[in-house]
């Protein structure tokens, strides 16, 4: 897993930690494909964390950000098709609903083999994925999301997706998906990936990464996200939900995620990652994220401790 290219944009302590711990590549058979899961086992830890990337991401891209909690929790970073090292026979048919189903099945499979409390950490689009998987499975102890971009919010949708795609109503997107959903195009055609980082060089890396933003994705993957009927926030349940949002995110500004969070009825917390762009690589926000994870995992352990 090549994470060094991303680690060089992070503070020295994060670069060192990412180089000290080497994730192990494992494979999980799902449908007719092989899902790549990078794992950092921590048998003595009392909790597990599943890290979920979004569009243009993969396990290697997020590993440097997550490395500080290795050891405190058992870590899993899955590559969602068509990203990373995951291989599926018909990548042009992948839709957002497939991502949801894959992650739900993964969570249930992991809970069967290991009953330690499970926390989901979702980055970018992975935030809504983590939210939805927690709501659907009932097997998650807590969720941390760097973004909660509700595709039902027309203003948020227009901000995240390039025109004219972001302005087409869901019904029109359904027609578009039927006509050209399987056509694969560069991510930069569908979204302004230049805003993925405040550092132009890091943004360029994310956009060109042959396992990330450089992968051609089916148009239907993005249109199906925009059309997806997520669990209403009022029905989310009792799972603690933490929004750890980059405060200087110019792609998906915090106000859109906060608007969604305010409607969630479960225990919620909002943490702003100061000076961080969409990809959280800057201080002090990066440390705020690590501290949030430390606190959440610790509280999760206490809540699940035997009396």
In tens, the pLDDT along 83-124 reads 999 999 999 999 999 999 999 999 999 999 999 999 999 999
Report which of 153, 130, 154, 128 is spatially closest to residue 141, judged by C-alpha positions.
130
Q: What is the DSSP letter of 87?
A: B
Can you give the pLDDT at residue 77?
98
Mean local confidence (pLDDT), 291-303: 74
Query: What pTM value is reported for the model?
Result: 0.94
Can you give the pLDDT at residue 168?
82
* Whether pLDDT at 298 is above 90: no
* Whether pLDDT at 303 is above 70: no
CATH fold of the domain at 4-158+231-304: Rossmann fold (3.40.50)
In tens, the pLDDT along 155-190 reads 888 888 876 777 788 788 888 899 999 999 999 888
In tens, the pLDDT along 239-277 reads 999 999 999 999 999 999 999 999 999 999 999 999 999
Can you give the pLDDT at residue 305?
43
Can you give the pLDDT at residue 127?
98
The strand ranges marked E within the chain are 24-30, 33-40, 48-52, 74-78, 118-122, 142-145, 184-186, 216-218, 241-246, 268-273
User: What is the rounded average pLDDT for all residues in the chain?
Assistant: 92
Pairing state between β 184-186 and 118-122: unpaired
Lowest mean pLDDT among 48-57, 154-163, 223-232: 154-163
């Amino acid at each position: 897993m090549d994470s060094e290219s991303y680690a060089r944009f992070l503070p020295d302590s994060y670069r060192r930690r990412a180089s000290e711990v080497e994730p192990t590549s494992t494979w999980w058979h799902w449908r007719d494909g092989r899902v790549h899961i990078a794992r950092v086992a921590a048998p003595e830890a009392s909790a597990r964390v599943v890290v979920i990337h979004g569009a243009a991401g993969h396990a290697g891209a997020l590993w440097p950000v997550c490395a500080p909690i290795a050891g405190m929790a058992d870590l899993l970073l899955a590559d969602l098709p068509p990203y990373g090292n995951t291989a599926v026979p018909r990548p042009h048919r992948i839709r957002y609903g497939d991502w949801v189903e894959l992650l739900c099945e993964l969570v249930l499979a992991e809970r069967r083999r290991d009953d330690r409390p499970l926390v989901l950490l979702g980055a970018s689009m992975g935030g809504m994925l983590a939210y939805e998987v927690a709501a659907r499975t009932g097997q998650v102890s807590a969720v941390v999301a760097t973004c909660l971009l509700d595709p039902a919010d027309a203003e948020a949708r227009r901000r995240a997706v390039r025109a004219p795609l972001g302005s087409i109503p869901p019904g029109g997107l359904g027609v578009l998906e039927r006509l050209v959903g399987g056509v694969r195009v560069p991510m930069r055609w569908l979204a302004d990936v230049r805003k993925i980082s405040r550092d132009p060089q890091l943004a360029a890396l994310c956009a060109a990464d042959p396992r990330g933003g450089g992968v051609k994705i089916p148009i239907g993957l993005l249109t199906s996200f925009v059309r997806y009927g997520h669990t209403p926030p009022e029905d989310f349940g009792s799972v603690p939900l933490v929004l750890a949002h980059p405060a200087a995110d110019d792609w998906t500004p915090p106000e859109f995620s906060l608007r969604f969070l305010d409607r969630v009825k479960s225990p919620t917390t909002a943490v702003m990652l100061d000076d961080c762009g969409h990809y959280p690589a800057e201080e002090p926000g990066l440390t705020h994220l690590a501290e949030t994870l430390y606190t959440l995992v610790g509280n999760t352990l206490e809540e699940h401790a035997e009396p």
